[in-house]
Structure formats: C-alpha cells, structure tokens
Amino acid sequence: MKNGLILFFLSSSFLFTQSDQMSADDIMKAMDQNLNAESRIITSKMVVKGRRNNRTIESKNWVVGTELAFTEYLSPPREAGTKMLKIGEKLYTYSPQTDRVIQISGHMLRQSVMGSDMSYNDMMEDRPIEELYSATIEGSTMLDGRDHWIMVLDAKVKGISYPKRRSWVDKEYLLPKKEELYAKSGKLLKTASLEGIKKIEGRWFPSKFVYKDELKRNSKGTEWIIDNIQFNKKIPDSRFSKALLRK
Amino acid sequence: MIKFLAKGLIRDRSRSLFPLLAIVITVTLVIFGIGFMEGAMNNFLQSTAVISSGHVKVVTKAYEKESNQLPNDLALFETDKIIRTLYNMYPNYFWSPRITFGGLLDVPNENGETKEQAPVFGIGIDFFSEKSRQAEIWELEKYLISGHLLKDRDDALISLKLAEQLNVNIGSAITLISSTMDNAFTTYNFNVVGTFNLNKGQADRQMILVDISGVRQALDMEDAASEIFGYHNSLYYDDEDAVRIRSDFNLTYSDSIEQMLRNEESYNALSYMAGWNKISNAEKRKLPKQRTDALSDNQMYDNIDEWEDLSVEDPAIFSPKMIALRDSSQLASMVDFSNVAMSVMAAIFLVIVMVVLWNMGLMNGLRRYGEFGLRLAIGESKGQVYRSMIIEAVIIGFVGTLLGTILGVSLTYYVQEFGIDYSEAINQMSSEMVLPNVFYAKVTSELYYIGFIPGVLATVLGTMLAGLAIYKREMSQLFKELEA
C-alpha cells in the first residue's frame, strides 16, 4: 500500500513536471491528438437555446481525418433526413423536402448550422490547430479548481474564420476548457467551452461542447452533447459519396 | 333678359368665344393639375403602403429596430390571435399577415444540379384568405406579364427582371435557399407560375411573390409573420386616422402585452429562487409584478451601460408595436411636406388663374367702352348696363367652367386609367422608397366644383370691377365721345 502511494506521487509529480515544461507547440500537438483521430463515428444532439424557445436536433456523424465528413440529421421531424457531406473544401447539403443537393459556398458558409451558434465554416475548419495557428503561453491560472495554461493562438494561414483565439488549456487533460474566438479586428465573435471531459479509448474527450455566438442577440448558446463516440473505426469510402445523400 | 343676353353672346363671337376659350382652358388646367397632383401623391403612398408599410403595420419591437435585415427570428407569434384582436379594435381596417424574407434562388438543371443562382427578396402575402383583400390591392392581373396568378401554396410569381436573369420559364421549379425563423438553413421548392413587372422602379428587381402559406412552410413560421399590415377599408391613406389608431394600440394592447411578457419572465426568474414553492399562491401572483416594476423603475431592462452584468434582458422586445405609414420608410416628412405643398401649389395655381380671368373680365369691359356709352346715350340706365354685363359674365363663366370641368375631369379620368409612364427616369434613380413607374391622376369629388372658383368668381369679379367705370361716365361726355 505504502509502495503504491509512493509510486502514485512519483508518477503524478513526473506527469506534472512533464506537462508544466511543455512548449506551446507541444500543447497544441497534444490537443490535436486528443480531439482528432483517423476516423470518428458520433451520435450527438445539439440543444439550441434561443431567447424564445429551445430546440434539440439529433444527428449522426461519420468523419475520416479532416477531409471527409457525413452528417445525417435524425430529429426533429422537420430536420430528419437532412444530410450534409463535406469533401475537402466542399460542403453539400441534401433536404428530403426539396430532393435537391445544394453546395454551400461563399457567404452561405457563414450561416448557422440548424439555427445553432455554429456556422458551416466552424464545421469545415476541422484541420489540426497546429497547422493553422502559432501559439504563445500567456500564463497559468486556476479554473474550477484546476490548473490551466492561458494560450494565445495567432493564425499562420490566411482566410480562416478566427484569426485569433485565447484558450484556457487544462494542464492534465490537454484540452481547451474555455476558448474565446476573435476576428482580425480583435472583436470577440464566439466563445466555446468543453464540459464532461472523460477518458474514451485512451484519450481525454469532452462529452459536451457549449458554443455561444457573441454577435447573436437572440441566442443563449448551443450545447453539443456527445451521446456516443467511436474512434478509428473503419468507415467505407461509399459513406462519403454524393449519391448517398439522396438515399 | 337672360335669353336675350345669351343670344347676343352667341351672335357676337368676339364677346363670347375668346373669354369662353380662356375660361375652358384655365379651368381644365386647374382641374387636371389638382387631380394629377392628388393622384401622383396617392400613387406614391399607395405603392409604399402595398409593398412595404401598409397604412399601419404591427411588428415586434425588436423587429422594428432591425427591420432592414429582415430578421424573421424576431417575428410575431400567434398572428391569428393578434389579427382577431385588431379586427375587434379597429373594424375600419382590414388586416393581413406578411412575411418578407431574403435568400438565394437556385435554378436546377435537368440533373438537379445548380444551373443559376441569384439573391432574392421575397414577400409572402396572404392571397388566399377571404378577408385579406391582398389580390385586390396588389392588382397583379394588371402587372402580370405571363402565366397566371397564384393558385397553390407552392406557386411563385417571379419578377420579369429576375426571371430573365435566371433564365426561368413558366413551369420551372426553383429552390429557395434561406433561413428559418430559428436561423436554420432551409431549402424549399416553388413552381414558377407567372412573371410580373410592378412598374415600380427598382423595387421588384429581385422580387418573388408567394402565398404566405408556402413561406410559412419554407421558413418554419407556422402562425408567425414578420409583420401584420393594416389598410383602411376605403384604401385611402388617412394620415390622421392612422396616427390615432397607432397611438391607441401602442398605449393599450402593446403595453399590456409588454407587461405580461415581463411578468412571465419575472415569474420564471423567481421560480428558481430557493423556497419559492413554500410561499403562498397569492404571493406568487404578486411578486413577479413587483420584480417587473422594480426593474422597470430602475431602468435595468437591457441598460448595460449603467448596470452591466446586472442588466436584465427585456422580454418586452417581442411585444407587438403598431407603426403608421408616416413612421416607416422615413415618410413622415414626405407626408407632411406633400400635404403643405399640395395646398400651396393648389392655392398659387388658383390665384394665378383668377388673376388671368379677372384681367380678362377687365379687358373685356374696357374693350366695350364705346358700346356701353352708346347704350347709356340711347337711354339705358347705368344699373341696367352694369347688371347685363354681370349676367353675361356669369353666363360665360358658368358655361366655360362647365365645359372646362367636363374636359378637365375627362382628361384626369383618362390619366387615372392609363397613367403617364416615367419608367426611364425612375429606373435611373436608386432609391429606398418605392416609386411607381407610371403615375396616375385621381378624380376626386372636389374636382367637380373647384373650377367654379376661378371660372365664375374671377370672371364675374373682373367684370364687376371693370363695370364700375360705367357709373363714372357723364351723360354730357357721351355724345362727344361718340362724335370722336
């Protein structure tokens, strides 16, 4: 028992020392490792909290890397059967009411997904943080009794939705507990927070994301609740074909 | 006597024809001028009322603030109930819900892929309800270029300019890409059943017209509407009346809904309080109102500058508010200016015409100086000569005014029916106001009598003034004048 305790303290102090000495690049790499995978199959629901009512939208997503994603909406009845397909930079949507496949591009990418606080651009920009930003550590702070780095991320590629971000990264989970997303001008556009972080298939992953579009007067935020997630499952290529949108 | 004078007038053309022509022309001009000004102003107001403002309209307070962004997320709920209330409160008006929306119009090719796309400004109008009278006020039969009017929920009329841009024909399916009132992306298919040209400048450049039932389906707005438009049953915009009902509605109905929404919100906020379930029902009814009043007294509703985080979101922004035509589209100064300008222009016009006719009466009197002298010399009394002059002036004035009124009203009626086309000039103007391409005159009841003011009154007054000279003439001088 005593040996066990010593081993615990030794290992935790080693871990603590290791995480405290991480560089900003290491932290971004670790965040990417937690959040991204070769493939993901997610069943989730999105709770859109408006000033006048709340709506819950259930969906199932199949994601391979950062290039391919397929989403099928399961409920409510009005949205059921709506599908979205992302292939690289292209995003297609299909609605059973019109039986049309429409490519979403240009300014439409800035529109909200199902009335939520997330835009299509948010969905599209799935690339690893490390590829998009260069980071500096601003300092450390305690948040909800846990130690966090405060990191400032500046875009190193052009044309992304949020040229600047400030993240509060949990030193143990290596996940951004809270984020502020800014425009080039410095205006706060969105805030995001991660809740219910738990270990899934060997990685820390949140079970709830909360987004708030700070420019939307009529929104109280959107909760994206992960009901089920599977990492690195084989997904057939046919899942990402345009033909499947109509089926 | 009158018969004798009338015969004289007919036989002596120089005495009657020129004055009669002058009176006919001026009276015609007065009547047509006033009729055209009235009509043009009414056209302008009616175009704006039909397309964008109604004579009055009801919106949420939040919608009004951001109305230029077509914010359907701030639309009115329970519109059927509000409309029933409006009919009860103001039976002289008819009420109709309206949804205005923006988006993209997508035209597919034979494989269902996007062929053409263009931004669109759409209006969902209640064409199918019996009471709404929208088909009547839009007069779409008049503006229809091809196809037929809406018959089905998913039918759409598309402006000729947009149809040409997108290369769509009657029978084509078009997909509207827009946002629901929850701001969710949405697509919806409409069938093009007709093209139109509203003849209102740039207003219809990107316009589609659909029935409100189709838009409600497309934008998930069941029993909701961007605005509820109200029109006076006579279809004439009465500014005073519109302002009266606007003030009345906002002071009574709107304020009571505002209070109700705030109390509801207060009730919800207080129900999270520890111990809420332990207090009596009487207290539960009283406390929300007290909280609402306290927040209101301290201006804590959305007053972030003073209260920052303690500021409270105001649910009253969703309470309905009535706006009169003069309040929207910056029309207040336009309405006021037009009323004053119309009166001033009409007055100036009348004065000028009166001076002309007066002068004509004077000239006519002076021209017949010799004739009057002869009549006096052969024994006619001054009073008889003077009276005969005035009766002649009345006859000429009356006949001229009658003919002028017939001609003026006919001309005004013609322009009322067929209008004067200003398309080219209007199309070159870029304005937020809805300007009609074709201006129509308006035959109003005043046109039937307004011509008598210059036509009879001025002519008679002129003659009376000229006739005064008769009394100044001395009998002894008359023969000398005749010899000369």
* Whether the model pTM is above 0.80: no
Question: Which residue of A217, A219, A246 is the best one to mutate when testing the B interface, meaning the one whose CB has the most B CBs within 10 A?
Answer: A217
Tens-place pLDDT, residues B297-338: 888 887 777 777 777 778 888 999 999 988 876 677 777 777
Q: How many CB pairs under 8 A join A and B?
A: 64
A158-172, B76-90, B381-395: lowest mean pLDDT where? B381-395
The Cα–Cα gap between B472 and B474 comes to 7
pLDDT at B78: 93
User: What's residue A3's pLDDT?
Assistant: 44
* Pair type for strands B185-196 and B155-159: parallel
Q: Which of B194, B89, B75, B209 has the alpha carbon at shortest distance from B137?
A: B209
Say how many residues make up chain A: 247
Testing the interface with A: which of B66, B187, B319 to mutate, by most A Cβ within 10 A?
B187
Distance CA B137, CA B368 (A): 57
Reported as a single tens digit per residue, the pLDDT across A188-247 is 999 999 999 999 988 999 999 999 998 876 678 999 999 999 999 999 999 999 888 987
Residue B185 pairs in a beta bridge with: B179
Query: Mean per-residue pLDDT for B437-457?
Result: 83
Q: Alpha helices of B155-224 — where are they, by DSSP H?
A: 160-166, 212-219
Cβ under 8 Å to B: A residues 85-114 = 93, 95, 97-104, 108, 111-114
Least confident of B38-47, B127-136, B357-366, B437-446: B357-366
Angstrom CA distances, B395 to A162, B16, B20, B287, B406, stand at: 86, 10, 10, 81, 16
ipTM: 0.73
Report helix angle B2-11 to B382-418, nearest 10.
70
On chain B, the residues whose CB falls within 8 A of the CB of A108 are 104, 177, 185
The pLDDT, as a whole number, for residue A12 is 42
pLDDT for B244: 95
Contact A61, A41 (CB under 8 A): yes
pLDDT of residue B308: 73
- Every domain of chain A and the residues it spans: 23-246
Query: Which stretch of B90-104, B189-203, B470-484 has the lowest confidence by average pLDDT?
Result: B470-484
Taking residues A99-106, report their average pLDDT: 83
The verdict on A33 touching B (C-beta cutoff 8 Å) is no
CA–CA distance, B411 with B438 (Å, rounded to integer): 16
**How big is chain B by its Cα radius of gyration, in Å?**
33
For chain B, the structural domain boundaries read 2-50+328-483, 56-232
CA atoms of B373 and B382, how far apart (whole Å): 10
Q: Read off the pLDDT of each residue in A3-24 and give the average, rounded to a whole number.
A: 51
Please report which confidence band the pLDDT of residue A6 belongs to, taking 50, 70 and 90 as the band edges.
very low
SS3 category, B442:
coil
CA distance B158 to chain A (A): 19
Of B77, B187, B313, the CB nearest to A100: B187
pLDDT at B464: 81
What residues of chain A lie within 8 A of the CB of B108, using their CB? 100
Closest CA to B265 of B246, B288, B295: B288
B108 with A100: Cβ contact below 8 A? yes
Per-residue exposure over B73-95, b if at least 16 CB sit within 10 Å of its own CB, e if not:
bbbbbebeebbebbeeebeebbb
Of B9, B16, B37, B24, the C-alpha closest to B454 is B24
A115 to chain B, any CB pair closer than 8 A? The answer is yes
pLDDT for residue B283 is more than 70: yes
Residue B427 confidence class, pLDDT cut points 50, 70, 90? low
In CATH, A23-246 is 3.90.1200.10: no
d(CA B478, CA A87): 112
| CA terminus-to-terminus distance, chain A | 59
| Chain B CB contacts of A114 below 8 Å | 182, 184-185
Please give the average per-residue pLDDT across B183-187, as a whole number: 84
- Which of B396, B384, B404 has the alpha carbon at shortest distance from B450? B404
Those residues of chain B whose CB sits closer than 8 Å to some CB in chain A are 73-74, 77, 104, 106, 108, 112-114, 175, 177, 179-180, 182-189, 220, 313, 315, 318
pLDDT, tens only, B213-246 = 999 999 999 999 999 999 999 887 888 899 999 9
Q: Is the pLDDT of residue B133 over 60?
A: yes
Among A38, A105, A42, CA closest to A66: A38
A242 touches chain B (CB under 8 A): no
CB within 8 Å: B182 and A48 = yes
B364: three-class secondary structure by DSSP: helix
Task: Give the rounded percent of residues in chain B with a pLDDT score beyond 70.
Answer: 88
Interface contact A95-B313, CB threshold 8 A: no
Residues 6+ apart with CB under 8 A from B209: B122, B123, B125, B138, B140, B150, B156, B157, B158, B196
Residue bearing tokens 């769509």: B168
